[in-house]
Amino acid sequence: MAMASRNASLKTLTLILSRKYTSRTQVISGTSVELPSCHGKSLEQSDYKRWDNGGGMFHNSACIDRTALIENGAIVHSNCAIAKDVQIGSGTVIGSSTSIGESTTIGYNVVLSNCSVGQFCVIHHGVCIGQDGFGFFIDDNGLVVKKPQMLNVRIGDHVEIGANTCIDRGSWRDTVIGHFTKLDNLVQIGHNVQIGKCCIICGQSGIAGSATLGDYVTMGGRVAIKDHVLIASKVRLAANSCVTKNITVAGDYAGFPAMPAEEWRRQTVNMRLYFKKGRSLQ
């Protein structure tokens, strides 16, 4: 029995050596297992190669500066442009025709597609940029039909995007994030949204499709903005506010629906006094 086991092991080793670098299969404990492939081709036959600085994979057509770091497990697809000193973490996927500016840092398990990213940006783990927006309509047969989402996302310079934030690609205009804007974790940016420079958007906020924000807009946590709304520059929105119509004058706003913060405070105090007085009369 030992002799039979030894012969099987030698046979397996011979099979592995004979197939090295030439086969899409690997033999494990005598079982043939498919290796990862790319578009139906084995790694050796495909147009993808291993990047020396970090061990990630890249397509032959990608233009990558030699100083870029692509960590093992990351992949850069066709026709991408990666500038100098870019760092791409493990598990990240850079989709076709994506460009990334100088000295930008991208964390683990990020997915970038249909987008351009500026210089000196920081994109944290789990971010998704450039996927289809949420656009549907009801056709004549009463069926829910997807609207085409064919445009891109443009990220400015010095932008920071928190973990697990999602930014959808445009349908009738590009989705834009302005220079020096900072997004917290778990922020949702809908398709066609355009955000100005130096904005600060705190966690769990959501901006519905085609909204437009000016420069220096600040949003507290869990702020919601309705679709197609215009918000002027230097507007500050308190946490849990909900913007349902245009805000054309700079200042502080709060509440649902959002109103000038002083008015919201008066309403809140009056409501408390009203209920307090009602309880005292009972």
Burial-class residue 269 by CB neighbours within 10 Å (0-12, 13-18, 19+): exposed
Catalytic residue among 59, 124, 179, 191: 191
Phi, psi of 267 (to 5 degrees): -60, -40
Sequence-distant (≥ 6) Cβ neighbours of residue 155 within 8 angstroms: 115, 116, 117, 118, 121, 129, 161, 167, 177
Three-point CA angle 82, 87, 92, nearest 5°: 85
For the record, the structure tokens of 46 come out as 């495909």
Three-point CA angle 198, 199, 205, nearest 5°: 160
Separation of alpha carbons 37 and 50, rounded Å: 14
Q: Is 39 a catalytic residue?
A: no
Separation of alpha carbons 177 and 126, rounded Å: 18
Q: Where are the beta strands (DSSP E) in 71-131?
A: 75-76, 81-82, 87-88, 93-94, 99-100, 105-106, 111-112, 115-117, 122-123, 128-131
Sequence-distant (≥ 6) Cβ neighbours of residue 242 within 8 angstroms: 223, 224, 225, 226, 255, 256, 257, 258
Q: Which residues are catalytic?
A: 191
